[in-house]
Amino acid sequence: MDRRKMVGALGGLGTALTAGASDQKPGHSTAAGGPLNGPHAHFCGIHMAKSNPKLQFLTHHLCAAHKAHGKDDMFQCVLFDSMEPNARLIGVEYLISDDAYRALPEGEKKYWHAHTYEVLGGGLTAPGMDSEEEMKFMKTVINMWGKAWHTWPDWSTPVPMGEPMLIWSLMGDGQADPKLVAERDRKFNISEKQVRAKRAKAFGLQAPKVSLPKNLDTIGRQWTDEGEDKPTPIK
C-alpha cells in the first residue's frame, strides 16, 4: 500500500490531533518531530473479547500512519474508553494491509481480526471527518487487519489489572450489543442503518456473514465462514 495514500486517508487537518504551543502548560513541551506531531485519525468502533464475545466495549481509536521497517505500511493506534480529558488508556491496536497479513506465519494469524463487517455493517465511524474524508478512510481500512489488546480489561478497577485481553471484531449481523450501538449513534448523532446503506451503495458489496470465534485459536475470515473468502456483490 502506498504510504501517501494511507496518510491521505487520515483526512484533513481538522482530524489531526497534534499539540500546538498554545495547548501546552508552563513547563511542558512536545518534542519536535515526535510520534504525536503528525496527522492522526479518530475513529470509534465496538470491540469484543475474543475469549468472550458477549464482553463488548465502545472503543475510541487515535491512529497514525507508520512505515514499518521500510517495507509494510500500517496504522498504530492508542485506544481510549472515551474522548473525555480524563479518559482511560485501555489498549493498543495495529492495522496492517491484507498483503502484510497474508505473509504472516500461520501461528500468528489467530491474533488478527478483519474489518470488513465493521465498515460495511456500519459499526465503524470517524466522527472528526466529513462524509467524503470518512468514506476515503473506510475504503482504506476495509481490507486491513487489526491486532488489538486491551491492557485495562476491567474498567471497574482503579488501575489496569490482569493479563491483556485479545480483541476480536464483529463480523455479522446480530453480534453487536444493541445498547452499545444505540449509545454510539446517540453520541455522534448518526444512524447505523443510514451509515450501512450509504456504504453498501458506495462499495456495492453485501455485509459479511462470519460466525463468532469458536476459541482463541480461530483464524479470522473477511467475508464468509466457508469456501473462497470473497465478497458478495449487491445485485
Gap between the Cα atoms of 145 and 74, Å rounded: 10
The reported pLDDT for the residue numbered 32 is 60
Average pLDDT across the chain, whole number: 87
| Dihedral sign computed on CA atoms, order 200, 98, 124, 212 | positive
* Of 40 and 130, more confident: 130
Is residue 105 classed exposed, middle or buried when 0-12, 13-18 and 19+ CB atoms within 10 A define those classes? Answer: exposed
Asked if pLDDT for residue 193 goes beyond 90, the answer is yes
